[in-house]
Amino acid sequence: MKLISACLIGCECRYDQKSCRTHLGEQLLSQGKAIPVCPEQLGGLPTPRPPAEIVGGDGFDVLDGRAKIVDNQGNDVTDIFWLALIKH
């Protein structure tokens, strides 16, 4: 069993309240091989929400505390993404 981003199976949980449905995602779900989750929502972020991106590195740098995640309004949302990781 694998976890799959919920937006890839058609859940409208992206920041813009849209999905990005993929055939592979739907196939894995229909075969019972994947569980859809949206870590951003599980971390407490609303939908829709401001888009966010990593600043100062990549995902590994965020995990090591060398980079952060900032939304397009300048808010540091790194802790919210950490919360999503901890809940998993």
Of 22, 26, 29, 38, the residue at the interface with ligand SF4 (CB under 6 A) is 38
Q: Among 9, 40, 52, 77, which residue interacts with ligand SF4 (rule: CB under 6 A)?
A: 40
Nearer to ligand SF4, 47 or 61 (CB): 47
| Site for ligand SF4 contains 14 (CB under 6 A) | yes
**What b/e sequence results for 36-64 when a residue is b if at least 16 CB atoms lie within 10 Å of its CB, and e otherwise?**
bbbbbbbbebebebeebebeeeeeeebee
Closest CA to 59 of 50, 68, 51, 72: 68
State the CB neighbour count (10 A cutoff) for residue 21: 13
Least separation in angstroms between residue 17's CB and ligand SF4 is 10
Residue 5 as a binder of ligand SF4 (CB under 6 A): the answer is yes
Does residue 9 touch ligand SF4 according to CB under 6 A? no
